[in-house]
Structure 1
Amino acid sequence: MYLPPQFKSDRTQAAALITAHPFASLISVDEAGVPYVTHLPLHLEERGDPLVLLGHVAKPNPHWRYLQARPQAVVTFLGPHAYLSPKVYPDLARVPTWNYLAVHCTVQATLIEDPAGKDALLKKLIGDHEPSYADQWRGLGAEYQHKMLAGIVAFELQVTDLQCKVKLNQHRPEAQTGMRAVYEAGTENERALAQWMTRLKSSADFPQGTEK
């Protein structure tokens, strides 16, 4: 993605964004050479240096076949985003913009085909989103579990390259106070952007001395 240096962030912020917004777009190339996209939740694991993403698709979804044939793919995550009015500036010679946080990962896919591996992956996703469901899943019985597991194809996506973009108008320090006031009083997405402003204020991703 287009990534000006003032909006470039690091792996730590990328991992935080993925964890907070795990619903991803998995992008591969189909047999005709056309991009094929599946929207799905992914589980993030940090295994030392490499980041790994775990997920699955329904067996009728051909995406797993594309991953099998061409293992390199792209995964994107979109965090909070919102419009920014030029009214936040102290002068009138300004234009609107859109602020957002996003992560793009280049990945190498490996299918997980054994039932035990798929079951372990599902339990990690359950742990992310509804830990209390784990007991219900275990109580469904081996036959039912096997049937459900046979209906999905799971995969591990090892991240080989990562880009994290945090666009919060960092290059416009004169707008920061007004932007924060608008976002803190705004929608859920806008409030989330204000929280990221606070989070990044003391880091290299955000200019110092711009807040009063």
Structure 2
Amino acid sequence: MLIHPWDTASEAEWRPWLAVRDFGQLIASGRDRDLPVVVPTHFLFDGDTTVRVHLARPNPIWAALAENPNVLLAVVDDYDYVPAAWGGTDVPTSYYAAVHLVCTAVVIDDPAAKADLLTRQLAHFEPPGGRTDVSEEVDADRRQLPGIRGLELTVRDVQAKFKYGGNKSPEVRARIAEHLSERAGPHDAAAREHLLSRGSAD
């Protein structure tokens, strides 16, 4: 991912952004493959260095992980289209936030460990009053646990990009922000907030 200096997201920016997101694409390159395996998936990030995922046993990612445990978890959100005229140029642009977590994957097959992983995930995803506890001691759980495998990803590196006109003057950013307010599209409010927080490279 190309990251210009003015688009670089600091740890103080990307950590709270990622903390409220839980869906991305898990990418495993394997070895000597024509294409990597890309899996859209929910995930649970502990806010520090660990990401937890569970996937169906037939998923093609397992063969790629057996070849190479290095993976990339890519998360993109708050994306927007900025017409050329808004920036006073002949070239339109895209605004977006992207965080790539470079990780080492460990496969979890132990039933008790899988139950613990699922319990952690359900505690995050389930609404209040929903089921959160999973146990290999429960018959229904014991029968279903073999159908999944868990993944614990240890984060080794982070690439974070917040592309929101950080190289533009305050005047241009303010003008684009006004247009975003007027358009009021699905991602315009979030993009506007990022835009106004970015510094100028001038």
- Same fold? TM cut 0.5: yes
TM-superposed deviation, 1:111: 1.1
**For residue 109 of structure 2, what is the aligned residue in structure 1?**
113
Q: Residues 170 and 62 (structure 1 numbering): CA distance in 2 closer, same or farther, change over 3 Å?
A: same
2:15 counterpart residue number: 15
* Cα drift, residue 138 of structure 1: 5.5
1-structure distance, mates of 2:41, 2:145: 17
Answer yes or no: is the 8 Å Cα contact 2:24–2:43 preserved in 1: yes
Among the aligned pairs, what percent are the same residue?
Answer: 23
Trace 1:69-148 onto structure 2 (pairs within 5 A).
69-89=67-87, 91=88, 93-132=89-128, 134-135=130-131, 142-148=138-144
CA RMSD of aligned residues (A): 2.3
Gaps of 5+ in 2: none
SS at match of 2:113: helix
State yes or no: 1:59 paired with 2:57. Answer: yes
The residue number in structure 2 matching 1:68 is 66
Q: Which amino acid aligns with 1:187?
A: G
Aligned to 2:44: 43
Deviation of residue 30 (structure 1)?
4.2
Match of 1:26 in 2: 26
8 Å contact kept, 1:126–1:133: no
Query: Which shifted more, 26-35 or 3-12?
Result: 26-35
- How many residues end up aligned between the 2 structures? 197
Note if contact 1:104-1:163 (Cα within 8 Å) is conserved in structure 2.
yes
> Letter of the aligned partner of 1:42 in structure 2?
F
- Deviation sequence 1:63-82 (CA, Å, 0-9, x none): 12322331111110001101
Q: Secondary structure of the residue that 1:99 maps to in structure 2?
A: strand
The one-letter amino acid paired with 2:23 is F
Q: Which residue of 2 aligns with 1:207?
A: 199
Counterpart of 1:188 in structure 2 is 186
- State the 1:88 CA deviation: 2.3
Does 2:161 align with 1:165?
yes
> What is the deviation of 1:136?
6.8
Q: Say which SS state the counterpart of residue 167 (structure 2) adopts.
A: coil
